[in-house]
Amino acid sequence: MDSDEEERIPYSLRKEWSDVTPLPQDDGPDPVVSIAYKDEFRETMDYFRAVYHSDERSARSLDLTSDAIELNPGNYTVWHFRRLVLEAVGADLHDEMDFVEHIAENNSKNYQIWHHRRWLAEKLGAEAMRRELKFTQKILALDAKNYHAWSHRQWVLQVLGGWEDELEYCQQLLEDDVYNNSAWNQRYFVITRSPLLGGLQALRESEVRYAADAIITNPENESPWRYLRGLYKGDNNSLVSNPEVSIVCVDVIKKNPIKKNPYCVFALSLLLDLLCYGFQPSDEFRRIVESLRNSDSGPSDYKLASTVCAILESVDPMRSNYWSWRKSNLPTLAC
């Protein structure tokens, strides 16, 4: 159907639809709030209800669902029926991919579109892999944090493949915007799930350096701090034993006075975790932490972890109750 309303021919005037009696929407005898639909929408849906009720799976029904989706891309019933029709008429699913891309141009966060897209990819199998990766890349170029696109991309990688260039893609995204937390998440997904890279254990050393470099360059960026912590998920012993972790925390604190840069909370928070997991600090380390104290942080505590909690209570007032709770629940091994 031409999008220009002036050129649109009503279904009631189309010869090929003369045998169909439109089925109006039933709002009951006393609708509370009647919706003032446009004539084009009302008529299209009346004819859709008619073919849906009669279960007519034909080429004209497919065209009708195209019109209905153009008018309302979120109608899950129309999308469901469209899939039934596509299978019944043996439609070219590559053409259907084109249709979805067209609809997605202005509706990239529509759940129905992504569900339909996955259905198509499942039908086409491995041959759809490259196209799906390009499709999600196109969407992410417009909206780098589109959850639907990332979710679909991860599904494609796990089911259809395409891991070969994914780490490089993440690298490029982070070079473009190191604050892109979705790209950091995808990078973690790749190093932990890719069957080609050897797993987290094989990559941890290089990834720690990568995260540390990103932290030193932009210590206010929370994403690499989270990424660094995630590299040791479930392996606290390795976290404590790697000196690079404590070094990057201390470097950030030394170079960025906490009174002027509250984002040192990220460094202090990680240091607190290290202490709680059994990290044995040096005398220099203790002096650096003690130097952060001020009159608002309370008296010095014999436990360094308690001192860190007191500092965090002062410099992170939004979560002062949390840090107070952490202080009252420190493990006995915390220094």
Residue 334: what pLDDT? 63
Q: How does DSSP assign 260-307, residue by residue?
A: T-GGGHHHHHHHHHHHHTT----HHHHHHHHHT--GGG-S--SSHHHH
Q: What is the DSSP letter of 15?
A: G
Task: Summarize pLDDT for 156-199 with one digit per residue, the tens.
Answer: 999 999 999 999 999 999 999 999 999 999 999 999 999 999 99
Asked whether the beta carbons of 86 and 50 are under 8 A apart, the reply is: no
3-state helix, strand, coil in the chain (%, to 5): 70, 0, 30
Residue 37: what pLDDT? 82
Residue 27: what pLDDT? 74
Distance CA 156, CA 307 (A): 48
Asked whether the beta carbons of 272 and 257 are under 8 A apart, the reply is: no
Distance CA 134, CA 261 (A): 40
Task: Summarize pLDDT for 244-266 with one digit per residue, the tens.
Answer: 999 999 899 888 766 556 568 99
| Separation in Å, CA 263 to CA 8, 174, 217, 221, 260 | 58, 20, 13, 8, 9
Domain ranges of the chain: 1-91, 232-335
Annotated catalytic residues are 109
With a cut of 70, list the residues of the chain below it in pLDDT: 1-6, 257-263, 293-302, 333-335
Residue 259: what pLDDT? 59
Distance CA 280, CA 264 (A): 21
Q: What is the pTM of this model?
A: 0.89
Residue 300: what pLDDT? 45
Q: What three-state secondary structure class fits 240?
A: helix
